[in-house]
């Protein structure tokens, strides 16, 4: 099980690390690279072209500003591509979001929220869970744990209100 995470710059890393953490928690290997659609286009296409043969099953493309990285990845692979827009100074990253989400028909990129790195990781896990039953089991437990945490928060709020704190 391997996910390729490509980011346009090392300045994206502090956001991207949440996706890496999710994948590690599910025992999924990550190949994390800095490759840019605009600054290193040839290296990017070469990496993506070879990735499936090298064991990658899903891509996460992370970039900010004129964030064409995920789209470029999707243009040269049939593997699923998740796009992670990075927050910028322009309207909170709307530039990144639109650059990633507004793909032409025929070349989809499954785009998560601006800085939604944890969801990018989880979406990759869910894609891989279609093939690997052990991941499906872990996802079921993950959802149950999340629901239990919400129930706990609900109880704490109810106790606070009823207790008059
Ligand atoms: C994008 O430009 C990168 O993904 C990054 O989010 C943004 C700025 O890059 P740096 O100037 O910090 O290298 O390609």
pLDDT at residue 165, as a whole number: 56
Residue with CA closest to ligand 1 atom 2: 64
Could you give the CA distance from residue 74 to residue 139 in angstroms, rounded to a whole number?
Answer: 26
User: Could you read off the pLDDT of 35-52 as tens digits, one per residue?
Assistant: 999 999 999 999 999 999
pLDDT at residue 75, as a whole number: 98
Could you give the CA distance from residue 74 to residue 109 in angstroms, rounded to a whole number?
Answer: 7
For the whole model, what pTM was predicted? 0.95
| Ligand 1 pocket, residue 57 CB under 6 Å | no
Q: How confident is the model at residue 163 (pLDDT cuts 50, 70, 90)?
A: confident
Structure tokens at 138: 């872990």
| Ligand 1 pocket, residue 12 CB under 6 Å | yes
User: Could you read off the pLDDT of 107-125 as tens digits, one per residue?
Assistant: 999 999 999 999 999 999 9
Sheet of strand 29-34: strand arrangement: 29-34, 2-7, 58-63, 81-85, 110-111
41, 75 in Cβ contact below 8 A?
A: no
């Amino acid at each position: 099980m391997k996910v390729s995470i490509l980011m346009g710059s090392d300045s994206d890393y502090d956001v991207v690390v949440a996706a890496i953490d999710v994948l590690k928690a599910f025992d999924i290997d990550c190949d994390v690279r800095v490759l840019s659609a605009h600054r290193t286009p040839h290296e990017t296409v070469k990496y993506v072209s070879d990735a499936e043969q090298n064991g990658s099953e899903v891509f996460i493309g992370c970039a900010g500003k004129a964030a064409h990285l995920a789209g470029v990845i999707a243009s040269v692979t049939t593997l699923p591509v998740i796009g992670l827009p990075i927050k910028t100074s322009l309207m909170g990253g709307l530039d990144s979001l639109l650059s990633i989400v507004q793909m032409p028909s025929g070349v989809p990129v499954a785009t998560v929220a601006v800085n939604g790195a944890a969801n990018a990781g989880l979406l990759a896990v869910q894609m891989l869970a279609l093939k690997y039953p052990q991941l499906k089991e872990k996802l079921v437990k993950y959802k149950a744990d999340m629901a239990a945490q919400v129930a706990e928060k609900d109880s704490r709020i109810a106790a606070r209100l009823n207790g008059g704190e």
